[in-house]
Chains A and B, each alone.
Chain A
Amino acid sequence: MSDRPKEVASMKNSAGPKIRMVDVHKSFGQKTVLDGVTVDVATGESLVIIGGSGSGKSVTIKCVLGLLHPDSGSIQIDGRETTHMRGRGRDELMLKFGMLFQGGALFDSLKVWENVAFGLIQGRRVDRRLARDRAYETLAQVGLGSDVAVLAPSELSGGMQKRVALARAIAARPEIIFFDEPTTGLDPIMGDIINDLIVKCVKELGATAISITHDMHSARKIGDRLAMIHGGKLIWVGPTKDIDASGNPYVEQFVNGRAVGPIKMQVRG
């Protein structure tokens, strides 16, 4: 694990993008959710996609993950087309991914350590004892002790559940990590702790990260670059430091949280 950041740093400028989405479209019935999303994410980069509720943020990362299939367009990981990937190819691709779900999505029938070790034991067929050790180690990385490891997820607070979910997402040391609204439902202090943990873990792993959030504090903290999605299109992509001088009225309204502006919130889905 310790060699990964150096390796990544050398790859960052030489290789092509880790993730490439080109003109991705996705509709549900009559409703168009993604309308030509195009973006590159470099190796080791952290991209944060911001946007209002129902703007297509979750659908974007679910398309990259393969949980949803785009209607058209191209999604490449390490230069390989993945949109029609099935079977063994898809299984191998999934080994590169880790995901922190908005609600944690912890398996409530398993103990905390079993949740963290799940991908290792079931997905990678790692020996149960080794996986258990790795789970305890990863829990320590996110600030949770061995006393928590034997509890059921339902016995934990929201913040602790998010930490466990983060530990589960990084336990197998994935190359690409997705964060779906990592601070939603947390108090500002716990939200900031989670932001710090995300930054620390992504850096330690040297992973490429795509996060989606509508929490601007979180976006500024964890993103190298920000992208704003509106109406199924990425209407602005740029370095995090430039977000306040985007010159885009949609971005300005969203960043400043104004009710008045070009973005009209839909009452119905």
Chain B
Amino acid sequence: MNFLAAIGRLFLSFLWHTGRLAIFAGQALAHIVRPPIFPRQMARQLIEIGYFSLPVVGLTAIFTGMVLALQTSTGFASYAAEAAVAKVVLLSMTRELGPVLAGLMVAGRMGASMAAEIGTMRVTEQVDAMVTLSTNPFKYLISPRVLAAIVALPALVVIDDIIGVFGGFLVGVYSLGFNPAVYLHDTWDSLRALDVLSGLFKAAIFGFVIALMGCYNGYYSQGGAQGVGRATTNAVVSASILILTLDYVVTALFFR
């Protein structure tokens, strides 16, 4: 009986958290379009999420592109490796690895940072202070972060795709000895708008998820430093899991 009660409690708790997260997401989105808007906050978050994530996302992309080229050339050694390498690198980067890796990197960097910053503000009563100063925390703290992440992630993924393909080109030309003009021609030939757009669509969704989980966990953190630590961990873990889950859902939506 106790076992059943425990399962019931767990299920009810899950429903409660899901409901609270859904309401939080709805409020965050509603406040994006409802004035007053805080453009300074939005610009600050765009720089934080977009510009300052460039080095880590760029490094991840270039090495991923390089590894992809190497692995593909090994795997396709008995076939027409040159054309296959260019195509596989491009397809993998634009459809999957670009948005997913950028999403995971930004989740680690910005999801944690959002949860820690808002969580600290919560436990030190700065969020309450904001309310007493006639400022809605959703408008000032949450919505600018959510909107900035939705905008910044696709922009990061465009750069990420280019750097990844360039990584593959470097290995293809300088390590595998492919003809640079042919490699570029094969890459251009394989380029499809749907592949790039599906990647950008995924990136926008991942951006929303990262900001949502970072802000949600920070906003409801409690219990001092330990609570903020827990919120930070939860933000990164939940965002990463959701990114991988939604990656499958969106892929199935576009390519099934």
> Is A105 a contact of B134 with CB atoms below 8 Å?
no
Q: In the docked arrangement, what's the CA distance between A124 and B126, Å?
A: 18
Cβ of A101 and Cβ of B134 under 8 Å apart?
Answer: no
**Cα distance, A76 to B121, chains bound together (Å):** 29
**B38: Cβ under 8 A from any A Cβ:** yes
Q: Is the CB of A122 within 8 A of B131?
A: no
Chain A positions within 8 Å of B133 at CB level? 118-119, 122-123, 168, 172
Q: Mark A80-100, 1 if CB is under 8 A from B, else 0.
A: 000000000001001101110
Measured CA separation A91–B131 after assembly (Å): 9
Interface pair A122/B135, CB less than 8 Å apart: yes
B36 at the interface (CB under 8 A from A): yes
| B128 A105 Cβ-Cβ under 8 A | yes
A105→B122 CA distance, assembly (Å): 10
Contact A105 B131 (CB under 8 A): no
Q: Tell whether A94 pairs with B128 under 8 Å between CB atoms, given A122-B38, A122-B140.
A: no
B2 at the interface (CB under 8 A from A): no
Q: Contact check, B134 vs A95: say whether CB atoms are below 8 A apart.
A: yes
A169–B134 alpha-carbon span in the complex (Å): 11
The digit string for B114-140, where 1 denotes a CB below 8 A from any CB of A, is 000000010011101111111100001
Contact, CB under 8 Å: A107 / B126:
yes
Q: Which listed residue (A103, A123, A168) contacts B134, Cβ 8 A?
A: A123
Please determine whether A94 and B124 come into contact, CB atoms closer than 8 angstroms. Answer: no
Residue of B131, B134, B140 contacting most chain A CB atoms (<10 Å): B134
Count class of interface residues, chain A: 20 to 34
Interface size class of B (residues with CB under 8 A): 10 to 19
Q: Are A103 and B131 in contact (CB under 8 A)?
A: no
Chain B neighbourhood of A123, CB < 8 A: 133-135
How far does the alpha carbon of A247 sit from the alpha carbon of B57 in the complex, in Å? 71
Number of A-B contacts (CB under 8 A): 58
Contact of A94 among B125, B126, B134, B140 (CB under 8 A): B134
Q: Does A125 have its Cβ within 8 Å of any Cβ on chain B? A: yes
Taking CB atoms, residues of chain B closer than 8 Å to A94 are 131-132, 134
> Can you name the residue of chain A whose Cβ is closest to the Cβ of B131?
A67
- In the assembled complex, the CB of B136 is this many whole angstroms from the nearest CB of chain A, namely 8
**Minimum distance in angstroms from A95 CB to a CB of chain B:** 5
CB distance from B188 to the nearest CB of A (A): 46
CB distance from B17 to the nearest CB of A (A): 17
User: CA–CA, A105 to B129, complex, Å?
Assistant: 6
A212 to B125, CA, bound (A): 16
| Contact, CB under 8 Å: A119 / B36 | no
Return A241 CB to nearest CB of chain B, in Å: 31
Interchain nearest-CB distance for A240 vs B (Å): 26
Q: How far is the CB of B128 from chain A (nearest CB, A)?
A: 5
- Complex: A106 Cα to B125 Cα, angstroms: 9
Chain B: CB-nearest residue to A165: B129
- Could you say which residues of chain B place their CB within 8 Å of the CB of A169? 132
Q: Across the interface, do B129 and A101 meet the contact criterion of CB distance under 8 Å?
A: yes
Please pick, from A103, A108, A118, the residue contacting B125 in the complex, using a CB distance under 8 A.
Answer: A103
CB-defined contacts of A219 to chain B, threshold 8 Å = none
Contact B132 A97 (CB under 8 A): yes
User: Of all chain B residues, which has the CB nearest A120?
Assistant: B133
Q: A101-B125, A122-B140 are in contact. Are A91 and B132 (CB under 8 A)?
A: no
Specify which chain A residues have a CB less than 8 angstroms from the CB of B125 in the assembled complex: 101-103, 105
Contact B128 A125 (CB under 8 A): no
CA–CA, A95 and B130, complex, Å? 12
**Nearest CB in chain A: distance from B123 CB, A:** 10
Q: How far is the CA of A105 from the CA of B38 in the complex (A)?
A: 21
Extra inter-chain contacts (20) besides given A123-B134, A168-B133, CB under 8 Å: A65-B131, A65-B132, A67-B128, A91-B134, A94-B131, A94-B132, A97-B132, A101-B125, A103-B124, A105-B126, A105-B129, A107-B126, A118-B130, A118-B133, A118-B135, A119-B133, A122-B38, A123-B133, A169-B132, A178-B132
What are the nearest 8 A-B pairs in CB distance? Answer: A123-B134, A119-B133, A105-B129, A105-B125, A99-B132, A122-B135, A94-B134, A123-B135
Binding site for B on A (CB under 8 A): 62, 65-67, 91, 94-95, 97-99, 101-103, 105-108, 118-119, 122-125, 168-169, 172, 178
7 A-B residue pairs with Cβ-Cβ distance under 8 Å, sorted by A, are: A66-B131, A67-B131, A95-B134, A106-B126, A106-B129, A118-B133, A172-B133
